[in-house]
Protein backbone atom coordinates (compact mmCIF):
# COMPACT_ATOMS: atom_id res chain seq x y z
CA UNK A 1 0.00 0.00 0.00
CA UNK A 2 1.18 3.52 -0.79
CA UNK A 3 1.57 5.88 2.12
CA UNK A 4 -0.49 8.42 0.21
CA UNK A 5 -2.99 7.81 -2.54
CA UNK A 6 -3.24 10.58 -5.11
CA UNK A 7 -6.31 10.59 -7.30
CA UNK A 8 -5.78 13.58 -9.59
CA UNK A 9 -3.37 13.35 -12.52
CA UNK A 10 0.18 14.56 -11.88
CA UNK A 11 1.64 15.98 -15.09
CA UNK A 12 5.35 16.47 -15.67
CA UNK A 13 4.75 20.27 -15.64
CA UNK A 14 1.77 22.35 -14.56
CA UNK A 15 2.08 26.15 -14.82
CA UNK A 16 -1.35 27.03 -13.46
CA UNK A 17 -0.37 27.21 -9.78
CA UNK A 18 2.51 29.57 -10.49
CA UNK A 19 0.40 31.92 -12.62
CA UNK A 20 -2.52 32.03 -10.17
CA UNK A 21 -0.09 33.08 -7.44
CA UNK A 22 1.25 36.08 -9.38
CA UNK A 23 -1.68 36.93 -11.65
CA UNK A 24 -2.62 40.24 -9.99
CA UNK A 25 0.98 41.51 -10.06
CA UNK A 26 1.54 40.46 -13.67
CA UNK A 27 -1.72 42.09 -14.78
CA UNK A 28 -0.69 45.29 -12.98
CA UNK A 29 2.64 45.15 -14.85
CA UNK A 30 0.80 44.59 -18.16
CA UNK A 31 -1.32 47.62 -17.38
CA UNK A 32 1.79 49.76 -17.07
CA UNK A 33 3.08 48.52 -20.44
CA UNK A 34 -0.32 49.34 -21.91
CA UNK A 35 -0.42 52.83 -20.40
CA UNK A 36 3.06 53.51 -21.80
CA UNK A 37 2.41 51.69 -25.11
CA UNK A 38 5.90 50.24 -24.64
CA UNK A 39 5.14 47.06 -26.55
CA UNK A 40 8.47 46.42 -28.28
CA UNK A 41 11.78 47.06 -26.54
CA UNK A 42 11.77 50.17 -24.34
CA UNK A 43 11.60 50.80 -20.61
CA UNK A 44 10.32 47.43 -19.39
CA UNK A 45 12.83 45.48 -21.50
CA UNK A 46 15.70 47.67 -20.26
CA UNK A 47 14.54 47.22 -16.68
CA UNK A 48 14.57 43.45 -17.15
CA UNK A 49 18.00 43.53 -18.81
CA UNK A 50 19.45 45.40 -15.83
CA UNK A 51 17.82 43.10 -13.30
CA UNK A 52 18.86 39.96 -15.16
CA UNK A 53 22.49 41.08 -15.58
CA UNK A 54 22.61 41.71 -11.85
CA UNK A 55 21.05 38.32 -11.16
CA UNK A 56 23.71 36.58 -13.32
CA UNK A 57 26.57 38.75 -11.97
CA UNK A 58 27.40 39.88 -15.53
CA UNK A 59 28.08 43.32 -16.95
CA UNK A 60 25.38 43.15 -19.62
CA UNK A 61 22.16 41.39 -20.57
CA UNK A 62 20.31 41.79 -23.86
CA UNK A 63 16.67 40.78 -24.23
CA UNK A 64 15.61 39.06 -27.45
CA UNK A 65 12.51 37.34 -28.79
CA UNK A 66 13.45 33.75 -27.82
CA UNK A 67 16.36 31.49 -26.82
CA UNK A 68 16.92 30.18 -30.34
CA UNK A 69 17.50 33.74 -31.60
CA UNK A 70 19.86 34.28 -28.66
CA UNK A 71 22.01 31.41 -29.90
CA UNK A 72 21.87 32.57 -33.51
CA UNK A 73 22.89 36.12 -32.62
CA UNK A 74 25.70 34.95 -30.33
CA UNK A 75 27.19 32.87 -33.15
CA UNK A 76 26.86 35.74 -35.64
CA UNK A 77 28.31 38.28 -33.19
CA UNK A 78 31.40 36.06 -32.89
CA UNK A 79 31.86 36.27 -36.66
CA UNK A 80 31.14 32.56 -37.17
CA UNK A 81 29.56 31.66 -40.50
CA UNK A 82 29.71 29.47 -43.61
CA UNK A 83 32.68 27.08 -43.66
CA UNK A 84 33.06 27.17 -39.86
CA UNK A 85 32.31 24.38 -37.39
CA UNK A 86 30.95 24.58 -33.87
CA UNK A 87 31.09 21.73 -31.34
CA UNK A 88 27.66 20.98 -29.85
CA UNK A 89 26.53 18.20 -27.50
CA UNK A 90 24.49 15.41 -29.13
CA UNK A 91 22.28 15.34 -26.04
CA UNK A 92 20.46 18.67 -25.95
CA UNK A 93 17.33 20.33 -27.26
CA UNK A 94 17.78 20.80 -31.00
CA UNK A 95 17.78 24.62 -30.78
CA UNK A 96 21.38 24.51 -29.50
CA UNK A 97 22.34 23.38 -33.01
CA UNK A 98 19.85 25.61 -34.84
CA UNK A 99 21.77 28.74 -33.89
CA UNK A 100 24.85 27.32 -35.60
CA UNK A 101 22.94 26.25 -38.72
CA UNK A 102 21.06 29.54 -39.05
CA UNK A 103 24.42 31.34 -39.15
CA UNK A 104 25.49 29.07 -42.04
CA UNK A 105 28.05 27.14 -39.97
CA UNK A 106 28.07 23.38 -39.27
CA UNK A 107 27.31 21.80 -35.89
CA UNK A 108 29.67 18.97 -34.94
CA UNK A 109 28.06 16.67 -32.39
CA UNK A 110 29.90 15.21 -29.39
CA UNK A 111 28.62 12.48 -27.09
CA UNK A 112 27.66 13.01 -23.44
CA UNK A 113 29.15 11.20 -20.45
CA UNK A 114 27.37 8.07 -19.24
CA UNK A 115 26.46 9.55 -15.84
CA UNK A 116 26.08 13.36 -15.97
CA UNK A 117 24.59 13.14 -19.48
CA UNK A 118 26.36 16.37 -20.39
CA UNK A 119 29.00 16.95 -23.05
CA UNK A 120 32.00 14.70 -22.46
CA UNK A 121 35.18 16.85 -22.42
CA UNK A 122 37.34 13.80 -23.19
CA UNK A 123 35.59 13.34 -26.54
CA UNK A 124 35.89 16.91 -27.79
CA UNK A 125 39.48 17.17 -28.97
CA UNK A 126 39.17 14.39 -31.54
CA UNK A 127 36.42 16.49 -33.21
CA UNK A 128 38.40 19.73 -33.44
CA UNK A 129 39.58 20.68 -36.95
CA UNK A 130 41.12 23.79 -38.51
CA UNK A 131 37.53 24.98 -39.16
CA UNK A 132 36.37 24.71 -35.52
CA UNK A 133 35.59 28.13 -34.05
CA UNK A 134 33.62 27.52 -30.85
CA UNK A 135 32.19 25.06 -28.35
CA UNK A 136 28.64 25.42 -27.06
CA UNK A 137 28.25 23.76 -23.66
CA UNK A 138 24.70 23.25 -22.41
CA UNK A 139 23.69 23.52 -18.75
CA UNK A 140 21.28 20.72 -19.49
CA UNK A 141 18.29 20.04 -17.22
CA UNK A 142 19.45 23.06 -15.17
CA UNK A 143 22.81 21.53 -14.16
CA UNK A 144 26.04 23.36 -15.06
CA UNK A 145 28.31 21.50 -17.47
CA UNK A 146 32.00 21.01 -16.74
CA UNK A 147 32.90 24.66 -17.34
CA UNK A 148 36.56 24.53 -16.38
CA UNK A 149 37.32 21.46 -18.52
CA UNK A 150 35.63 23.01 -21.58
CA UNK A 151 37.22 26.39 -20.92
CA UNK A 152 40.66 24.77 -20.88
CA UNK A 153 40.03 23.04 -24.23
CA UNK A 154 38.85 26.37 -25.66
CA UNK A 155 41.98 28.15 -24.42
CA UNK A 156 44.30 25.41 -25.76
CA UNK A 157 42.71 25.51 -29.22
CA UNK A 158 41.87 29.21 -29.41
CA UNK A 159 38.10 28.61 -29.51
CA UNK A 160 35.19 30.65 -28.18
CA UNK A 161 33.08 29.15 -25.39
CA UNK A 162 29.34 29.80 -25.46
CA UNK A 163 27.02 28.75 -22.64
CA UNK A 164 23.59 27.50 -23.61
CA UNK A 165 21.92 28.42 -20.34
CA UNK A 166 18.37 28.11 -21.70
CA UNK A 167 17.45 25.70 -18.88
CA UNK A 168 19.61 27.14 -16.11
CA UNK A 169 18.50 30.59 -14.84
CA UNK A 170 20.04 30.75 -11.36
CA UNK A 171 22.20 27.60 -11.48
CA UNK A 172 25.65 27.91 -9.90
CA UNK A 173 29.04 26.50 -10.81
CA UNK A 174 31.27 26.50 -7.72
CA UNK A 175 28.93 29.07 -6.15
CA UNK A 176 29.12 31.41 -9.17
CA UNK A 177 25.99 31.92 -11.28
CA UNK A 178 26.15 30.57 -14.82
CA UNK A 179 25.99 33.21 -17.55
CA UNK A 180 29.39 34.86 -17.20
CA UNK A 181 31.79 32.01 -17.92
CA UNK A 182 31.73 32.00 -21.73
CA UNK A 183 32.04 34.83 -24.26
CA UNK A 184 28.27 34.91 -24.08
CA UNK A 185 25.50 32.87 -22.45
CA UNK A 186 22.15 32.29 -24.12
CA UNK A 187 18.93 32.02 -22.14
CA UNK A 188 15.40 30.99 -23.03
CA UNK A 189 12.43 32.47 -21.21
CA UNK A 190 9.94 30.13 -22.88
CA UNK A 191 6.90 29.85 -20.56
CA UNK A 192 7.87 26.38 -19.30
CA UNK A 193 11.37 27.40 -18.20
CA UNK A 194 12.19 28.04 -14.51
CA UNK A 195 12.04 31.73 -15.45
CA UNK A 196 9.46 31.84 -18.23
CA UNK A 197 7.72 34.84 -19.77
CA UNK A 198 4.02 35.14 -20.46
CA UNK A 199 4.91 34.60 -24.11
CA UNK A 200 8.13 33.89 -26.01
CA UNK A 201 11.38 35.53 -24.90
CA UNK A 202 15.12 34.97 -24.60
CA UNK A 203 18.28 36.77 -23.58
CA UNK A 204 22.06 36.88 -23.80
CA UNK A 205 24.49 37.78 -21.02
CA UNK A 206 28.09 38.85 -21.53
CA UNK A 207 30.91 40.75 -19.84
CA UNK A 208 32.23 42.04 -23.17
CA UNK A 209 31.06 45.50 -24.23
CA UNK A 210 31.90 44.91 -27.90
CA UNK A 211 29.66 41.85 -28.03
CA UNK A 212 26.98 43.78 -26.16
CA UNK A 213 26.99 46.57 -28.74
CA UNK A 214 27.08 44.09 -31.64
CA UNK A 215 24.11 42.17 -30.23
CA UNK A 216 22.07 45.32 -29.65
CA UNK A 217 22.52 46.28 -33.28
CA UNK A 218 21.93 42.77 -34.68
CA UNK A 219 18.63 42.30 -32.81
CA UNK A 220 17.35 45.65 -34.06
CA UNK A 221 17.71 45.58 -37.88
CA UNK A 222 21.42 46.28 -37.75
CA UNK A 223 21.01 49.86 -36.62
CA UNK A 224 22.10 51.99 -33.71
CA UNK A 225 20.54 55.16 -35.11
CA UNK A 226 17.02 54.64 -36.41
CA UNK A 227 16.79 54.08 -40.19
CA UNK A 228 20.58 53.98 -40.60
CA UNK A 229 21.51 50.32 -41.14
CA UNK A 230 25.20 49.56 -40.73
CA UNK A 231 24.84 45.83 -41.38
CA UNK A 232 22.22 43.24 -42.29
CA UNK A 233 20.36 42.82 -39.03
CA UNK A 234 17.33 41.01 -37.64
CA UNK A 235 14.09 41.86 -35.91
CA UNK A 236 14.65 39.92 -32.70
CA UNK A 237 13.63 42.43 -30.04
CA UNK A 238 11.96 41.38 -26.80
CA UNK A 239 8.34 42.47 -26.34
CA UNK A 240 7.33 44.83 -23.52
CA UNK A 241 4.60 42.55 -22.15
CA UNK A 242 7.01 39.63 -21.98
CA UNK A 243 9.60 41.80 -20.21
CA UNK A 244 6.98 43.07 -17.74
CA UNK A 245 6.00 39.51 -16.81
CA UNK A 246 9.68 38.57 -16.42
CA UNK A 247 10.27 41.55 -14.12
CA UNK A 248 7.62 40.21 -11.76
CA UNK A 249 8.70 36.58 -12.04
CA UNK A 250 12.43 37.20 -11.54
CA UNK A 251 11.59 38.31 -7.98
CA UNK A 252 10.18 34.86 -7.25
CA UNK A 253 12.80 32.80 -9.09
CA UNK A 254 15.15 32.15 -6.13
CA UNK A 255 12.24 30.79 -4.05
CA UNK A 256 10.92 28.69 -6.95
CA UNK A 257 14.39 27.30 -7.70
CA UNK A 258 14.87 26.47 -4.02
CA UNK A 259 11.61 24.53 -3.97
CA UNK A 260 12.70 22.55 -7.05
CA UNK A 261 15.97 21.73 -5.28
CA UNK A 262 14.01 20.46 -2.26
CA UNK A 263 11.87 18.24 -4.48
CA UNK A 264 14.99 16.96 -6.26
CA UNK A 265 16.63 16.19 -2.90
CA UNK A 266 13.52 14.19 -1.94
CA UNK A 267 13.66 12.25 -5.22
CA UNK A 268 17.38 11.59 -4.80
CA UNK A 269 16.97 10.42 -1.23
CA UNK A 270 13.66 8.62 -1.63
CA UNK A 271 13.91 6.74 -4.93
CA UNK A 272 15.73 3.53 -4.11
CA UNK A 273 15.02 1.09 -6.90
CA UNK A 274 17.65 -0.88 -8.84
CA UNK A 275 15.60 -0.40 -12.03
CA UNK A 276 15.96 3.40 -11.88
CA UNK A 277 19.08 5.54 -12.31
CA UNK A 278 19.30 9.29 -11.62
CA UNK A 279 21.53 11.95 -13.23
CA UNK A 280 24.91 12.18 -11.47
CA UNK A 281 25.60 15.56 -9.87
CA UNK A 282 29.28 16.55 -9.50
CA UNK A 283 30.10 18.47 -6.30
CA UNK A 284 30.69 21.70 -8.23
CA UNK A 285 27.27 21.68 -9.89
CA UNK A 286 24.35 23.41 -8.17
CA UNK A 287 21.42 22.48 -10.41
CA UNK A 288 18.12 24.35 -10.50
CA UNK A 289 16.40 21.18 -11.74
CA UNK A 290 14.59 22.49 -14.77
CA UNK A 291 14.12 18.77 -15.42
CA UNK A 292 14.58 15.73 -13.21
CA UNK A 293 15.65 13.00 -15.62
CA UNK A 294 15.90 9.29 -14.81
CA UNK A 295 16.78 6.27 -16.94
CA UNK A 296 15.35 2.77 -16.82
CA UNK A 297 15.89 -0.31 -18.99
CA UNK A 298 12.30 -0.74 -20.14
CA UNK A 299 11.02 2.80 -20.53
CA UNK A 300 7.69 1.96 -22.15
CA UNK A 301 6.90 -0.41 -19.29
CA UNK A 302 7.73 2.16 -16.60
CA UNK A 303 5.85 4.86 -18.51
CA UNK A 304 2.64 2.83 -18.71
CA UNK A 305 3.02 1.76 -15.07
CA UNK A 306 3.33 5.42 -14.01
CA UNK A 307 0.40 6.44 -16.23
CA UNK A 308 -1.69 3.71 -14.57
CA UNK A 309 -0.87 5.44 -11.29
CA UNK A 310 -1.87 8.89 -12.61
CA UNK A 311 1.72 10.09 -13.07
CA UNK A 312 2.62 11.52 -16.50
CA UNK A 313 6.36 12.01 -17.00
CA UNK A 314 8.01 13.84 -19.91
CA UNK A 315 10.77 12.63 -22.26
CA UNK A 316 13.85 14.82 -22.88
CA UNK A 317 14.73 13.98 -25.57
CA UNK A 318 13.61 10.92 -27.57
CA UNK A 319 16.01 11.50 -30.51
CA UNK A 320 19.58 12.82 -30.07
CA UNK A 321 20.55 15.75 -32.30
CA UNK A 322 22.97 13.80 -34.53
CA UNK A 323 20.21 11.36 -35.53
CA UNK A 324 17.53 13.96 -36.26
CA UNK A 325 16.27 13.87 -39.86
CA UNK A 326 17.06 17.57 -40.18
CA UNK A 327 20.77 16.72 -39.94
CA UNK A 328 20.71 13.65 -42.20
CA UNK A 329 23.00 15.49 -44.62
CA UNK A 330 25.79 15.53 -42.00
CA UNK A 331 26.09 11.73 -42.30
CA UNK A 332 25.92 10.66 -38.66
CA UNK A 333 24.80 7.11 -37.91
CA UNK A 334 23.62 5.10 -34.94
CA UNK A 335 26.59 4.23 -32.75
CA UNK A 336 28.37 7.59 -33.25
CA UNK A 337 27.27 8.92 -29.83
CA UNK A 338 26.35 5.80 -27.82
CA UNK A 339 25.67 7.49 -24.46
CA UNK A 340 23.31 10.06 -25.98
CA UNK A 341 21.57 7.30 -27.93
CA UNK A 342 21.13 5.16 -24.80
CA UNK A 343 19.68 8.13 -22.96
CA UNK A 344 17.27 8.95 -25.78
CA UNK A 345 15.88 5.42 -25.61
CA UNK A 346 15.71 5.11 -21.83
CA UNK A 347 15.05 8.55 -20.30
CA UNK A 348 11.99 9.90 -18.52
CA UNK A 349 11.48 13.26 -16.80
CA UNK A 350 9.70 13.07 -13.45
CA UNK A 351 7.14 15.75 -12.50
CA UNK A 352 9.09 18.86 -11.50
CA UNK A 353 7.70 22.32 -10.69
CA UNK A 354 7.78 24.48 -7.59
CA UNK A 355 4.07 24.01 -6.84
CA UNK A 356 4.29 20.20 -6.71
CA UNK A 357 2.99 19.30 -3.24
CA UNK A 358 4.91 17.24 -0.66
CA UNK A 359 2.06 14.76 -0.78
CA UNK A 360 2.48 14.27 -4.53
CA UNK A 361 6.27 14.01 -4.25
CA UNK A 362 5.89 11.30 -1.57
CA UNK A 363 3.36 9.52 -3.72
CA UNK A 364 5.62 9.58 -6.83
CA UNK A 365 8.51 8.20 -4.75
CA UNK A 366 6.36 5.42 -3.30
CA UNK A 367 5.06 4.45 -6.73
CA UNK A 368 8.59 4.41 -8.20
CA UNK A 369 9.90 2.28 -5.34
CA UNK A 370 7.08 -0.24 -5.81
CA UNK A 371 7.97 -0.69 -9.50
CA UNK A 372 9.49 -4.12 -10.07
CA UNK A 373 8.83 -5.07 -13.72
CA UNK A 374 12.29 -4.12 -14.97
C1 LIG B 1 18.89 23.74 -24.22
C2 LIG B 1 18.00 24.69 -24.98
N3 LIG B 1 18.56 25.51 -25.89
C4 LIG B 1 17.82 26.40 -26.58
C5 LIG B 1 16.46 26.50 -26.39
C6 LIG B 1 15.68 27.45 -27.26
O7 LIG B 1 14.93 28.37 -26.56
P8 LIG B 1 13.55 28.93 -27.15
O9 LIG B 1 12.54 27.83 -27.08
O10 LIG B 1 13.22 30.07 -26.25
O11 LIG B 1 13.80 29.35 -28.55
C12 LIG B 1 15.83 25.70 -25.42
C13 LIG B 1 14.41 25.79 -25.07
O14 LIG B 1 13.48 25.52 -25.69
C15 LIG B 1 16.63 24.74 -24.73
O16 LIG B 1 16.08 23.93 -23.83
pLDDT for res 374:
59
Per-residue pLDDT tens over the stretch 38-67: 999 999 999 999 999 999 999 999 999 999
Q: pLDDT at residue 4 above 90?
A: no
Burial of 272 (0-12, 13-18, 19+ CB in 10 A): exposed
Residue 8 pLDDT > 90, yes or no? no
Measured CA to CA, the distance from residue 174 to residue 126 in angstroms comes to: 28
Q: Which helix (H) or strand (E) holds 295?
A: strand 292-295
Cis ω for the linkage preceding 56 (within 30 of 0): no
Q: Quick one: what percent of the chain has pLDDT higher than 70?
A: 98
> Which SS3 state, helix, strand or coil, does residue 351 take?
coil
From CA 168, how far away is CA 142, in angstroms rounded? 4
Helices and strands (H, E) in the chain, number of each type: 10, 15
Residue 3 pLDDT > 80: no
CA distance 183 to 367: 44
Q: Which domains does the chain have, with CATH numbers?
A: 18-248 (3.40.640.10), 253-369 (3.90.1150.10)
Q: Distance from the CA of 194 to the center of ligand 1, in angstroms? A: 12
Q: Ligand 1, residues 95, 194, 200: which to mutate, most atoms within 8 A of Cβ?
A: 95
Distance from residue 166's CA to the centre of ligand 1 (Å): 5
Does pLDDT of 342 surpass 70?
yes
Residue 5 — very low, low, confident or very high, per pLDDT cuts 50/70/90? Answer: low
Q: Tell me if residue 227 falls in helix, strand or coil.
A: coil
Give ligand 1 pocket residues (Cβ under 6 A): 66-68, 92-93, 95-96, 138, 164, 166-167, 188, 190, 202
Per-residue model confidence (pLDDT) at position 373: 79
Integer Cα distance of 194 and 168 in angstroms:
8
- Segment 136-146 shows an average pLDDT of 98
Separation CA 57–CA 172 (nearest Å): 11
**pLDDT band per the 50, 70, 90 thresholds, residue 357:** very high
Ligand 1: residue of 190, 201, 315, 320 to mutate (most ligand atoms within 8 A of CB) is: 190
Q: Cα(202) to centroid of ligand 1, in Å?
A: 9
Amino acid sequence: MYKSIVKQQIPFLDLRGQHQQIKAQVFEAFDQVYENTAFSGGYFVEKFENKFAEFCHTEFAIGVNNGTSALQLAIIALGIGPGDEVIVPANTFIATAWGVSYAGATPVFVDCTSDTWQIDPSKIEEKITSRTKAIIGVHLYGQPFNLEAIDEICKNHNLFMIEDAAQAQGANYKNIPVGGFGEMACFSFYPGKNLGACGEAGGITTNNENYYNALKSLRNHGCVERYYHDEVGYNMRMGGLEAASLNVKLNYLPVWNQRRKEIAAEYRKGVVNPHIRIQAQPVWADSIYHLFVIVTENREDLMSYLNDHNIFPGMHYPVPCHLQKAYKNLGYKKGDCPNAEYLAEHCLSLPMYAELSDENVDYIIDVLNAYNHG
